Amino acid sequence: MNQLLEHIQQRAEITPTLTAVRHSGEAVTFGRLDSAIADYSPVVTASGMSDQSAVVAGLLHSLPTVTRLSAAQIGAAMHDMLAWLSRDLDGGAGRQLRAV
């Protein structure tokens, strides 16, 4: 997951307006997602959670309609979004996903 955090930060620096992920009729750019993750990092650290928790918090903050889904649907949405974001990384699970 640290590799994913670095990937998001690099994309935010290079192409901040590029769409990072879409779900439930909303989209978030790499710049906005990176900013949300940075905002949540101190909160999750102070709560004793890992930096990776900030990625999930950043996604939920940036795509609030996802929070209206059922718990099972939120879990599936997180899985899909994390797979999509990591598709270009070594061993990325999103290689079977496609943009729509």
Query: By three-state DSSP, how is residue 22 classified?
Result: strand
Give 53-71 pLDDT, tens digit per residue.
999 999 999 999 999 999 9
What's the alpha-carbon Rg for the chain, to the nearest Å?
13
Q: Is the pLDDT of residue 80 over 60?
A: yes
Q: Which of 19, 17, 36 is CA-nearest to residue 28?
A: 19
Give 11-50 pLDDT, tens digit per residue.
999 999 999 999 999 999 999 999 999 999 999 999 999 8
Name the pTM for this structure.
0.86
